């Protein structure tokens, strides 16, 4: 039995593909509409089933007619406590229960270019277990990234996780990534635990997966922050950034490792 935070499945049309694309959202407004439209233009639903996991939106952005128009197969609504990690656990548990071979996750705020999704699926088909998006590898695009965030990623977050994991990462705060089924259900990772509730899970996987010998790779992607409008983010300034740094330290020191596992 996998632990997953409390949630309800509000929409499910059934599995039709080997892969699914998980989109975590909360009050994304027109941003999720734009992302779904871009995915429709790329015919992503012909490659993977689209599953949205909602953290409690109240803005009407997930209206059934929008989901119908863009061939969204599933809508999961988290009803229990927690933030991004809790949302992802709901979706990943659901994906494994439905028999998917792997998942691609892309943020619902329309900052990432979904044209990389087919490449991520190809990488999973080739046997990679963890595909990490990166705006900093050759071919990647970083547009309008806030300068403080850019420095934090390049000088603190990615170097710390690279040192701790033994794998050279360049863009470890990116939520755009793909995982194999083998990785998600491995008991040595043990991701289905209640301690993953806020923003811990992403950093933990960057740290732990390479140490356990999973095949990891970065692929170039484009990440564009909007020009001339408030940067969409669920992380509160200062307090949220402090929490992320504390989480990073705890992850790198192995404090989220499963009990009795080296």
pLDDT at 239: 61
Please give the DSSP secondary-structure letter assigned to residue 235.
Answer: S
Residue 96 pLDDT: 98
Q: Give the C-alpha separation, 178 to 124, whole Å.
A: 8
In 3-state terms, what secondary structure has residue 200?
A: helix
| CA atoms lying within 13 Å on the CB side of residue 15 | 15
C-alpha angle with apex 223: 132 to 47, nearest 5 degrees? 60
User: How many degrees, rounded to 5, is the angle at CA 207 between CA 243 and CA 199?
Assistant: 30
pLDDT by residue for the chain (262 residues), tens digit each?
789 999 999 999 999 999 999 999 999 999 999 999 999 999 999 999 999 999 999 999 999 999 999 999 999 999 999 999 999 999 999 999 999 999 999 999 999 999 999 999 999 999 999 999 999 999 999 999 999 999 999 999 999 999 999 999 999 999 999 999 999 999 999 999 999 999 999 999 999 999 999 999 999 999 999 986 554 455 455 566 788 899 999 999 999 999 875 4
Please report the pLDDT score of residue 173 as a whole number.
Answer: 96
The pLDDT, as a whole number, for residue 262 is 47
Strand order in the sheet with 72-78: 7-12, 72-78, 49-54, 19-25, 102-105, 177-180, 130-134, 216-220
Listed by start position, the domains of the chain span 7-252
Residue 33 to residue 62: CA distance in whole angstroms: 9
Whether 102 and 181 have beta carbons less than 8 Å apart is answered as yes
Burial class (CB in 10 A: 0-12, 13-18, 19+), 23: buried
pLDDT for 260 equals: 76
Query: Is 1.10.3720.10 the CATH number for 7-252?
Result: no
**What confidence score (pLDDT) does residue 242 get?**
80
């Amino acid at each position: 039995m996998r632990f997953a935070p409390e949630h309800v499945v509000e929409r499910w049309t059934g599995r039709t593909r080997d892969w699914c694309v998980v989109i975590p959202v909360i009050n994304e407004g027109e941003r999720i509409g734009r992302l779904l439209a871009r995915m429709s233009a790329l015919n992503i639903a012909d490659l993977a089933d689209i599953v949205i996991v909602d953290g409690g939106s109240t803005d009407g952005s997930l209206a059934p007619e929008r989901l119908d128009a863009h061939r969204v197969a599933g809508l999961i609504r988290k009803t229990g406590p927690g933030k991004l990690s809790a949302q992802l656990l709901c979706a990943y548990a659901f994906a494994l229960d439905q028999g998917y071979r792997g998942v691609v996750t892309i943020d619902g705020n329309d900052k990432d270019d979904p044209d990389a999704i087919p490449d991520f699926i190809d990488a999973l088909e080739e046997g990679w277990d963890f595909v990490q998006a990166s705006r900093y590898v050759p071919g990647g695009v970083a547009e309008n990234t806030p300068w403080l965030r850019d420095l934090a990623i390049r000088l603190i977050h990615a170097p710390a996780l690279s040192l701790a994991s033994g794998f050279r990462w360049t863009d470890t705060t990116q939520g755009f990534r793909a995982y194999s089924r083998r990785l998600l259900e491995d008991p040595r990772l043990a991701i289905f635990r209640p301690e993953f509730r806020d923003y811990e899970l992403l950093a933990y996987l960057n740290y732990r997966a390479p140490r356990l010998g999973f095949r990891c790779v970065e692929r170039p992607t484009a990440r564009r922050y909007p020009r001339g409008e408030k940067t969409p983010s669920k992380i509160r300034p200062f307090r949220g950034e402090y929490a992320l740094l504390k989480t990073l330290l705890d992850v790198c020191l192995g404090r989220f490792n499963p009990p009795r596992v080296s």
